[in-house]
Amino acid sequence: MMRILLIVFTTFFATQVSAQDDTSSLFFGGDAFHAGRSVVHQNGGVDDLFMAGETVLGLSDITGTAHFAGREIVMEGVVQGDVYAAGEEITFQTDILGDATLVGRAVSVGNIGGDLRVAGSELDLNGDVGGYALIAGEKVTFNARVSGDVSIAAEELVWGDTASISGQLTLYEDEPGSLEVPEALAPAERITRRELEEWEGPERPSVLGALASFLAGVVVVAGIAALVAALVPDRLAEMRRQILARPFHTLWLGFLTQSTVIGTGFLLAITVIGLLLAPAVLVLALAGGLAGYVVAAYAFGVGLRLAFGKPEPDSLGERALAAGIGALSAGVIGLIPFLGWIFVLALALTGIGAITLRVIRPRFFSDTL
């Protein structure tokens, strides 16, 4: 979920960038960042790749991890690391050597060296999967050859001629036994059928896993904040100054904004007619909270630098350092029982308020800096 919201947040800033230019790109530390309406990656020698836009096209191989967000996503280059993608249509025409986590309406993938985690409406799975496959969709066309276990929740399941499963197959069905499985694909002793309501989430992580997740979260927040600072430095600086100069004003406005969005979702739900739009409003509220947290964490890091007598950051390296300081400090404070959660919530609302001031500029806050 964190990855999905992160991608939605990146898409939000891609929209802000595309209002000025069609495409913005940044190459830093061997990684590539592209944002805009229609973005294309065709540069060699890239490690990690970040792309967000209406249409996203990757033509070149990368040696690291890929992060994609857009309406239409097509990757023609080989990804040697992991892939995280969210969009309406997602197509991978070549190999993913690591794990793949994909969410979209229509998803088509080929060879995957690691584990596959995919959710969507229409799923077309081909090629070899080196690890396990965790699949949730309405119509699933399964023509993959999976070396590990497979877990499927689907309304309609179509088996391809070359499909094979070496591990255990678990099917989550409305009525257990409704989905047919060819005997040649998996014998009955390797098939488990369960009620759809029994779909299980991930197991509780270990202490080391929790620590790794915490550090990964800090790195992700700091990285996105540094990316935004590189793509739209003036806009982020304006929001940061608002937060540091008038924290309680931005906190109050953030509370009003988030309350309005959540209240809108509730009203849409009780009208029945607008019930289908309620999930979209919920995603907007969650994405807004993440965006607010990243902006406020960056402002917090700059504030800490200023408190120790450092000047305002005026280079990409200093902005990245401030982002890291803010993300780490906010993350550590967030570990404090109860009070930490209050701090994180206030931080996110403060950032939402700053974004609202920058985008909407409500008249009752017209005396902003």
Question: What string of H, E and C letters represents the secondary structure of 177-202?
Answer: CCCCCCCCCCCHHHEEEEEHHHCCCC
pLDDT level of residue 61 (50, 70, 90 thresholds): very high
**Is residue 331 within 8 Å of 353, Cβ to Cβ?**
no
**d(Cα 303, Cα 298) in Å, to the nearest integer?**
9
Statement to judge: residues 223 and 256 lie in one domain? yes
- Do 119 and 215 share a structural domain? no
d(CA 296, CA 115): 34
Residues 266 and 360 in one domain: yes
* Residues 280 and 317 placed together within one structural domain of the fold: yes
Cβ neighbours around 364 below 10 Å, total: 7
Our count of domains for the chain comes to 2
**127/110 same-domain check:** yes
Q: Which residues does residue 143 pair with via DSSP β-bridges, in sequence order?
A: 126
Ranking 109-113, 208-212, 332-336 by mean pLDDT, the lowest is: 208-212
Q: In terms of domains, do 223 and 325 share one?
A: yes
Q: Same domain, yes or no, for 220 and 192?
A: no
- Picking from 198, 216, 234, the residue at the C-terminal end of a domain is 198
Distance CA 306, CA 243 (A): 14
Residue 231 contacts residue 294 (beta carbons within 8 Å): no
79 Cβ partners below 8 Å, 6+ apart?
Answer: 49, 61, 62, 65, 66, 92, 95, 96, 97, 98
Concatenated DSSP letters of 321-337: HHHHHHHHHHHHHHTST
Which domain-ending residue is among 148, 170, 198? Answer: 198
pLDDT in tens, 97-152: 999 988 888 899 999 999 998 888 889 999 899 999 988 888 889 998 999 998 88
State the average pLDDT over residues 2-28: 50
Helical (H) or strand (E) element with 319: helix 316-334
With residue 288 as reference, give the H or E element that holds it.
Answer: helix 278-307
pLDDT class of 197 with cuts at 50, 70, 90: low
DSSP secondary structure code for residue 203 in this structure: P
Domain end marker among 198, 232, 249: 198
Q: For the residues 194-215, what does the mean pLDDT come to?
A: 54
Q: Find tokens 């992700």 and name the residue.
A: 220
What does the pLDDT read at residue 109? 93
Q: Helices 207-231 and 233-245, interaxial angle, to 10°?
A: 110
316/169: higher pLDDT: 169
Nearest to 329 by CA among 360, 284, 289, 298: 298
**Is the pLDDT at 214 greater than 80, yes or no?**
no
Q: The whole model's pTM is what?
A: 0.55
Residues 217 and 180 in one domain: no
Distance of alpha carbon 41 from alpha carbon 60, whole angstroms: 7
Cα–Cα distance measured from residue 219 to residue 6, given in angstroms and rounded to the nearest whole number: 12
- Does residue 248 share a domain with residue 162? no
* CA gap 116, 95 in Å, rounded: 12
pLDDT in tens, 339-363: 888 888 888 889 888 888 877 765 5
Would you say residue 11 has pLDDT above 80? no
Residue 191 and residue 228 in one domain: no
| Residues 119, 131: Cα–Cα separation, whole Å | 17
Q: 37-55, pLDDT tens digit by residue?
A: 788 988 888 999 888 777 8
Q: Do 226 and 133 sit in the same domain of this protein?
A: no
Long-range contacts of 71-77 (CB under 8 A, 24+ apart): 73/104, 77/41
Q: What Rg, from alpha-carbon coordinates, does the chain have?
A: 22
Residues 12 and 115 reside in one and the same domain:
yes
Mean model confidence pLDDT for the chain: 78
- Residue 255, classed as helix, strand or coil, is helix
- Write out the residue range of the structural domain in which residue 181 sits: 2-198
